[in-house]
Structure 1
Amino acid sequence: MKILLSNDDGYQAPGLVALHAALRDLADVEVIAPEHNNSAKSNALTLHSPLSVHGAANGFRYVNGTPADCVHIALTGLLEQPPDLVVSGINNGANMGDDTIYSGTVGAAMEGYLFGIPAIAFSLVDKGWANLDAAAAKARELVQGILAGGLDPNRPFLLNVNVPNRALADIGPFEVCRLGRRHAAEKVIAQASPHGDTLYWIGGAGLPKDGADGTDFHATAQGRVSVTPLHVDLTEHAKLPDWTERVRRFAPTR
């Protein structure tokens, strides 16, 4: 069994190191991660500049690109054979609700899923790496259970997993749930540069808007590990008939 491990916090991040230590006796684990922090890079690929791959002293390899770059080049030429599972994380902070659209952690896992490989993204709910050992243990528990159940190469999956920052004994069971929603992000922060130019910093994420029972926000607030199956079809299927009729009114087919 072979696992490709990546992240978005960079190859030296404590979350990546802890996840590798937790999984390395379950499979042949290959680490290919970004050189620097690439949070909120989503699925971005680097198309207009070359990428280079270097080896670290601990055996990890790192790329001067995005999380999706790392997985993409691993699957299209860097690895001699494709992995059975792609795992991303452990991220320094939550990837719940609307966060998943922006997340580089999820983006790395999704890149594997787009290639037809089962993939899992792991995140800690609160930043700062508190109780990282417990999160790594829960990640191992889930991966080990999935591997024991067998992986069907014809049925890839994409899971988004968030672990509350608690001691292992205080973490509840896994809960399969849907994504919640956040309120709009906070206002942009404007600052003056030493040269008089106005600089802008993206504001913080909004507070939960939909954190009802059954969402990832609710599960983690109760101390449980949220497990959310994702897919990449953004089509609003329920609205297809409505939009077909609306478009036909001003652009009738001939």
Structure 2
Amino acid sequence: MTLNILCTNDDGYLSLGIGVLQRAATSLGDVVTVAPDREQSATSNSLTLHHPLRLRSSQDGVWVVDGTPTDCVIVAVNSLLSERPDLCVSGVNHGSNMGEDVLYSGTVAAAMEATVIGIPAVALSWCGDFPEELQTCEELVARVLGEILSRGPFPEDTLFNVNFPAIDPGEVQGIRITSLGR
């Protein structure tokens, strides 16, 4: 069975990270990407309430919403997709999302919204300083997503928050699942 994967982020549809995530997720299933039209970092679970959301398709087939990452998930599931996604992936964020940062993160909020509506989710963030280096971790993103999926199926309210260290992907010696710290 092919997985239906919803891909989103908080850095906007033109970010390097969402391209990395799309390509990695495509190796695991059918991907539909719905992302904000602009940077939406630190928007947490905010919703657009005072104007209608606009949805358009970009030249590369990404659906673009003039709202928050949470709006993107809601629009995708309730208005755009004909089938409910099996998984939502959010990122790859440029910058870590650890400890209390997850309370403010649009990346994590999009994944959290998916779990609220019954879709398991993975939020992914890269801890490096230079966004162009993020492209080097595409294979690692696919490997980590594959590892997570191999441990499933997991409950609908499951949220994984993944942070990639700012090292060469070949130096990564393993994957560790742990609880959220402060």
- Which category describes the TM-score, using the shorter chain as reference length? over 0.9
- The alpha-carbon deviation at position 150 of structure 1 amounts to 4.1
- The alpha-carbon deviation at position 178 of structure 1 amounts to 2.6
- The alpha-carbon deviation at position 23 of structure 1 amounts to 1.6
Structure 2 match to 1:171: 172
**Partners of 1:14 and 1:7 in 2: CA distance:** 11
Structure 2 match to 1:146: 148
Structure 2 match to 1:241: none
Structure 2 match to 1:60: 62
- The alpha-carbon deviation at position 162 of structure 1 amounts to 0.2
Judged with a 3 Å threshold, the aligned counterparts in structure 2 of structure 1 residues 31 and 126 are, in CA distance, closer, same or farther, namely same
Q: After alignment, is 72-81 or 114-123 more displaced?
A: 72-81
1:40 aligns with one of 42, 56, 59: 42
**Partners of 1:31 and 1:171 in 2: CA distance:** 28
What is the identity, as a one-letter code, of the residue corresponding to 1:17?
Answer: G
Q: Deviations along 1:20-57, whole A, 9 cap, x unmatched?
A: 11121320000000000000001111111110111111
Whether the aligned pair in 1 keeps the contact of 2:24 and 2:138 (CA below 8 Å) is yes
Whether the aligned pair in 2 keeps the contact of 1:91 and 1:123 (CA below 8 Å) is yes
- The alpha-carbon deviation at position 147 of structure 1 amounts to 3.0
For residue 162 of structure 1, give the secondary structure of its aligned residue in structure 2: strand
**Partners of 1:134 and 1:151 in 2: CA distance:** 29
Whether the aligned pair in 2 keeps the contact of 1:32 and 1:63 (CA below 8 Å) is yes
**Partners of 1:117 and 1:62 in 2: CA distance:** 21
**Partners of 2:10 and 2:20 in 1: CA distance:** 14
**Partners of 2:26 and 2:43 in 1: CA distance:** 27
Identity of aligned residues (%): 42
Q: How does 1:174-185 map to 2 (within 5 A)?
A: 174-181=175-182
Whether the aligned pair in 1 keeps the contact of 2:27 and 2:142 (CA below 8 Å) is no
For residue 107 of structure 1, give the secondary structure of its aligned residue in structure 2: helix
Whether the aligned pair in 2 keeps the contact of 1:123 and 1:162 (CA below 8 Å) is yes
Q: How does 1:163-242 map to 2 (within 5 A)?
A: 163-181=164-182
**Partners of 2:28 and 2:80 in 1: CA distance:** 22
What is the identity, as a one-letter code, of the residue corresponding to 2:163?
Answer: N
| TM-score (norm. length: structure 2) | 0.93
- The alpha-carbon deviation at position 130 of structure 1 amounts to 5.1
Structure 2 match to 1:162: 163
For residue 69 of structure 1, give the secondary structure of its aligned residue in structure 2: helix
Bigger Rg, which one: 1
Structure 1 match to 2:130: 128
Whether the aligned pair in 2 keeps the contact of 1:130 and 1:165 (CA below 8 Å) is no
Q: Which has the higher contact order (CA 8 A, sep 6+)?
A: 2
Whether the aligned pair in 1 keeps the contact of 2:54 and 2:65 (CA below 8 Å) is yes
Whether the aligned pair in 1 keeps the contact of 2:126 and 2:165 (CA below 8 Å) is yes
For residue 145 of structure 1, give the secondary structure of its aligned residue in structure 2: helix
| TM-score (norm. length: structure 1) | 0.67
**Partners of 2:180 and 2:132 in 1: CA distance:** 24
Q: Which runs of 5+ in 2 are unaligned?
A: none
For residue 3 of structure 1, give the secondary structure of its aligned residue in structure 2: strand
- The alpha-carbon deviation at position 128 of structure 1 amounts to 2.0
Q: Which runs of 5+ in 1 are unaligned?
A: 182-254
Number of equivalences? 180
For residue 42 of structure 1, give the secondary structure of its aligned residue in structure 2: coil
For residue 90 of structure 1, give the secondary structure of its aligned residue in structure 2: strand
**Partners of 2:28 and 2:163 in 1: CA distance:** 21
Whether the aligned pair in 2 keeps the contact of 1:7 and 1:16 (CA below 8 Å) is yes
What is the identity, as a one-letter code, of the residue corresponding to 2:177?
Answer: V
**Partners of 2:74 and 2:129 in 1: CA distance:** 27
